[in-house]
Chain A
């Protein structure tokens, strides 16, 4: 058995308690271990991705219990890719949190960060639906702590909403799993696929209910309209480096939709035929539209970036809801891009907020305006999907994949108009924040925040601004590399999509049946 598969879960699971119990009072050591842990995770992720590129689906049986009875972890191309993305995202964020001093504004940042990574990696690797629930809870519990990191009345209030919404989601998840278990008698995803295919379509009312409930749960995580209400308030009020990390959490929802609805409730399974595509696609289109309108209407940079996250989820889920191999390959490329782009914009937004407050209105110029505005410009180009960055490639792939689909016209219209509105909204925000401050005609309104802002600058100076900047440049570098190597990346995602749409290999690998 290949023990590398369990390593992305075990490493943070050991490191996080170690940081809490041994290094509790030593921030410097915490930082060193935390960065070392993320680098180690990146190494592990690269190793397992290299193993997954062979195309073999590897199974790790926990406690050596055979598949339908014990819990299994499954390494295929998609899970390896998502673990790699998690590690790649975590590295600039942890460096930024150190560089900007965010980890010093509350307790246990690094420990919670690693618990969050553990939950995310676990959710990507598990092959058992109930274990997926458990890892969702692990990542959510860590996210509750991170979301309220640093305290403050507004943030705590947003935190209560966030926790309440997610507890409701967890309850719904359990109802869905219970319903599915009561019909099929299994929760192992591969076994589920076999059992679901065997059930005659006429007595599956209960199973369909379970499938729809499960889709609702994943849609809550993925912030699909009309279940997106938690996202803007939570992300905008969370510490922004944490919000950048949360960019991967909405992708956990998208990943779960792809995994469960290609494997167990696949598009050609009689029970749930056409169920997901029919409902998901209009919802995804409305998500994109509302996100774009939200970008245009936001008065605050953090809220605006939160709506950017919603638009990118809209685009992603449109691609997923097409449920074809080409579209899924495009969606997987877009997952990589949109996670990095959202995180980049959140980090830039944090730099802006630290220096001048987050209101999208003219104020006095801030220090390092040139550099920050350049970074914002790059992030905005990537997010809106303008050439030359990877957002353009991603959206082009999605549009191309939807050509033969029945609703191609609607998809094209929504994506193109949505991108246009996004460009307008980001341009408006950028010019108000960065240009108007130099305009002699504009008298900056008296800002009550100014005094407060200088107070903060005195109270919490950036310990290592250079580190913060270089970590943001690291995220930019990631986007540039993703653009330059779009060919190999797309080749990988195409093969991943091919693997997803031949679930028989997955099933026989997990259940240990010979072909």
Chain B
């Protein structure tokens, strides 16, 4: 199981980084989502992997349990990354609609222009 989880994190991270290095916004956003999935699984595994174990201590008998804290952390991370993905989708959409161009890098003309004189 450890090998499976580890390779899943590894593959998702690699694919995420590959996609982020593309030059258009859509693959970049997909890559960011993959990376956040990878980090969520990774956080989940930081409490050590345990099968069929409750996330609470039993004070009457000594039974195996799984660490509840990473689950709380993952929950926070999921909420934040979900919100962030929505934000970046909206900003990229409006950037695409206003400049008719979905390249993520600033072209040479952009950087010498006066920065966004507001319309």
Contact = CB atoms under 8 A, between A and B. Distances in A.
A105, A153, A158 interface centre (most CB from chain B within 10 Å): A153
B58 interface: no
B84 A153 contact: no
Contact of A164 (B32, B81, B98, B110): B32
A143 to B, nearest CB: 11
Interface string A353-389: 1000111000000000000000000000000000000
Contact of A161 (B32, B104, B116): B104
Interface in A276-300: 299-300
A353 to B, nearest CB: 7
Contact of A150 (B39, B77, B114, B118): B118
A175 B80 contact: no
Nearest to B28: A164
A160 B104 contact: yes
A130 to B, nearest CB: 6
A299 B73 CA distance: 45
Contacts of A303: 111
Given A158-B106, A160-B88, A175 B42 contact: yes
Contacts of B101: 157
Interface string B40-68: 00110111100000000000000000000
B6 to A, nearest CB: 12
Given A153-B116, A237-B115, A144 B91 contact: yes
A163 B115 contact: no
A29 interface: no
B77 A160 contact: no
B32 A168 contact: yes
A167 interface: yes
B85 to A, nearest CB: 8
Contacts, number: 136
Interface residues on B, range: 35 or more
B33 to A, nearest CB: 10
Interface residues of A, number: 47
Interface string A198-241: 00000000000000000000000000000000000100110000
B43 A174 contact: yes
A154 B73 contact: no
Contacts of A168: 20, 32, 35
B50 to A, nearest CB: 14
B5 to A, nearest CB: 13
Contacts of A130: 73, 76
A58 interface: no
A477 to B, nearest CB: 28
6 contacts: A160-B104, A163-B87, A167-B36, A171-B39, A181-B47, A357-B117
Interface of A: 105, 130, 134, 137, 141, 144, 148, 150-161, 163-164, 167-168, 170-171, 174-175, 177-179, 181-182, 233, 236-237, 299-300, 302-303, 353, 357-359, 449, 452, 456, 460
